[in-house]
Amino acid sequence: MGDWELRIVCMGAGYVGGPTMAVIAKKCPRIRVAVVDISTSQIDAWNSKDLPIYEPGLQEVVEETRGKNLFFSVDIDAEVAAADLIFVSVNTPTKLTGIGAGRAANVKNCELCARKIAEVSTSSKIVVEKSTVPVRTADAVRRVLATNDKGIKFQVLSNPEFLAEGTAIDDLMDPGRVLIGGEQTPDGLAAIEKLVKVYAHWVPRERILTTNLWSSELSKLVANAFLAQRVSSINSISALCEATDADVSEVARAIGSDHRIGSKFLQASVGFGGSCFQKDILNLVYLCESFGLEEVAEYWNQVIKMNDYQKSRFSSLIVSRMFNTVTGKRIAIFGFAFKKDTGDTRETASVFVCRNLLEERARLHVFDPKVTREQMMLEFEYSTGTTEKTVPGLNELVITAECPYEAAKGAHAIAILTEWDEFKNYDYQRIYDSMAKPAFIFDGRNILDQAKLGQIGFEHYAIGKPRRKEW
């Protein structure tokens, strides 16, 4: 031991830092990888059998590498001092107060990491921005690092992460591309080459793209903006489909067969969620505004507005179909995570739909295979400001169910808000029999067989599908 090819440390043991470093450790057995965090509980969880996040395949990779060449630690100073290459993978949330509040990304954590690196380093290092940041953040990081009084030289690289939650391990094992940006100087190019070598252990060279710093930083924001734009575009069309009796899935199939458009990311839904899309588009919008590009800013802001519209359109529809009132009615919510195969609830569409229904005084019985009650209640407060104060009796109005059948028992309606595969396979006849009548089902993910639901007797609705005649 100790004869390592390279020593890597990652600051930030979250959804990105943990899985990314676990995969590097698995693919590069001769590289020592340490993941550090300021949160002791987070590190304790990574060192336990109950990892802090759920991702298919993650547990296996961590168990295979932990204690061999993958280490989780709170000893930030020692790990950083010993590292050759430091990834900064800390959270960069939207600013809540001050200049740019509600839009600009807060890069405070990145700056704190840079200060820590400058303070404890005794040798030159490569610092890699893994976090999603506003363009030119590398410049700020570089300037903070340059303030060290030991004459140490640092190189700063941008290496944005493109993994999606729920498929993080597959995405990391077989990435469509890896993007590395750096200074176009001899030292900068050498640093880029060092990071290229790490990924080249398992990623074909032609998929490792290298570029300058600012293009790399900006590409991350633009990638998410384009992806989210596709979801908002198809969601906007879902409203038109409902008005015209066209079927959004058929429209998506027809346009997606054009190779120039492509079939992915055209699944109409109750709205996109997750910690990235909204934050990163707002970041882009703010950036455009700060360069006086008002029209460009407004263009991208529309993607968010359409998403907000889709979420409120769905909850309003539930109320209007249920005879304009859900007060006191029991509604089963299937799914609280922002997408399937993750327990992550950040910015989930579900929380906004639930908040709107709670404001109508509905009683919600929520079932999600991976989300705990504690997490759900935190999300209510964090994303929507919903607390006992804003919705008196909140704790009694939101009940968490152990299974879908329990959630649906006696309910007036079911709302499908996450596309978990298991939701497709439930015994909907049994569910229908246990519900109050008429029994409504609102499919916000278009995953159920509408014809079958109709045969069972449900009053059914799905996003962007032809409406029932009486609706």
Give contact residues for ligand UPG (rule: CB under 6 A): 132, 161-165, 224, 227, 231, 265-267, 269, 272-274, 276-277, 338-339
Tokens standing for residue 400: 């968490």
Contacting ligand NAD within 294-333 (CB under 6 A): none
> For residue 90, which phi and psi values (nearest 5 degrees)?
-95, 165
In angstroms, rounded to a whole number, what is the distance separating the alpha carbons of residues 125 and 116?
A: 13
Candidates 12-20, 21-29, 172-180, 282-290 — which segment interacts with ligand NAD by CB under 6 A? 12-20
94 binds, among ligand NAD, ligand UPG, none (CB under 5 to 8 A by kind): none
Considering the complex, what minimum distance in angstroms separates the CB of residue 108 from ligand NAD?
8
Question: Is residue 227 within the footprint of ligand NAD (CB under 6 A)?
Answer: no
Tokens standing for residue 106: 């807060």
Q: How far is CA 393 from the centre of its chain?
A: 30
277 binds, among ligand NAD, ligand UPG, none (CB under 5 to 8 A by kind): ligand UPG
37 binds, among ligand UPG, ligand NAD, none (CB under 5 to 8 A by kind): ligand NAD
Q: Which of 307, 310, 312, 359 is nearest to 331 (CA)?
A: 359
CA distances from 442 to 138, 170, 179, 241, 354 (A): 46, 32, 40, 16, 13
Question: Is residue 24 within the footprint of ligand NAD (CB under 6 A)?
Answer: no
The response to whether 12 counts as a known ligand-binding position is yes
92 binds, among ligand NAD, ligand UPG, none (CB under 5 to 8 A by kind): ligand NAD
Question: Is residue 15 within the footprint of ligand NAD (CB under 6 A)?
Answer: yes
For 364, the 3-state DSSP assignment is strand
In this chain, which of 69, 94, 109, 148 binds ligand NAD, going by CB under 6 A? 109
In angstroms, rounded to a whole number, what is the distance separating the alpha carbons of residues 341 and 331?
A: 23
Considering the complex, what minimum distance in angstroms separates the CB of residue 293 from ligand NAD?
22
Considering the complex, what minimum distance in angstroms separates the CB of residue 219 from ligand UPG?
11
- Are 169 and 61 in contact by the 8 Å Cβ rule? The answer is yes
The response to whether 136 counts as a known ligand-binding position is no
Question: Is residue 92 within the footprint of ligand NAD (CB under 6 A)?
Answer: yes
In angstroms, rounded to a whole number, what is the distance separating the alpha carbons of residues 278 and 447?
A: 24
Nearer to ligand UPG, 65 or 283 (CB): 283
Nearer to ligand NAD, 91 or 307 (CB): 91
> Is 10 annotated in the active site?
no
The response to whether 13 counts as a known ligand-binding position is yes
| Segments of 16-171 assigned E as strands | 31-36, 70-73, 85-88, 125-129, 154-158
For 70, the 3-state DSSP assignment is strand
Nearer to ligand UPG, 17 or 274 (CB): 274
Q: H-type helices in 83-159, by residue range?
A: 108-120, 137-145
Nearer to ligand NAD, 110 or 391 (CB): 110
Nearer to ligand UPG, 42 or 91 (CB): 91
- Cβ-defined contacts of 106-110 (< 8 Å, 24+): 107/131, 107/133, 107/134, 107/137, 107/140, 109/12, 110/137, 110/140, 110/141
Candidates 35-43, 292-300, 404-412, 425-433 — which segment interacts with ligand NAD by CB under 6 A? 35-43
In this chain, which of 21, 90, 141, 351 binds ligand NAD, going by CB under 6 A? 90
Name the β-bridge partners of 126.
85, 155
Question: Is residue 278 within the footprint of ligand NAD (CB under 6 A)?
Answer: no
203 contact partners, CB below 8 Å, separation of at least 6: 175, 178
The response to whether 454 counts as a known ligand-binding position is no
- Are 440 and 359 in contact by the 8 Å Cβ rule? The answer is no
Nearer to ligand UPG, 121 or 418 (CB): 418
- Cβ-defined contacts of 200-206 (< 8 Å, 24+): 201/27, 201/28, 202/27, 202/28, 202/173, 203/175, 203/178
Contacting ligand NAD within 118-147 (CB under 6 A): 131-132
For 309, the 3-state DSSP assignment is helix
Question: Is residue 376 within the footprint of ligand NAD (CB under 6 A)?
Answer: no
Considering the complex, what minimum distance in angstroms separates the CB of residue 179 from ligand UPG?
11
Q: Which amino acid is at 298?
A: E
> Which residue of the set 28, 113, 276, 288 is catalytic?
276
231 binds, among ligand NAD, ligand UPG, none (CB under 5 to 8 A by kind): ligand UPG
The response to whether 315 counts as a known ligand-binding position is no
Question: Is residue 51 within the footprint of ligand NAD (CB under 6 A)?
Answer: no
Name the CA radius of gyration of the chain, rounded: 24
Nearer to ligand NAD, 112 or 152 (CB): 112
The residues of the shown chain that bind ligand NAD, judged by CB under 6 A, are 11-17, 37-39, 42, 89-92, 109, 112-113, 131-132, 161, 163, 165, 275-276
Catalytic residues: 276
- What residue numbers does the annotated binding site for NAD(+) cover? 12-17, 37, 90-94, 131-132, 165, 276-279, 346
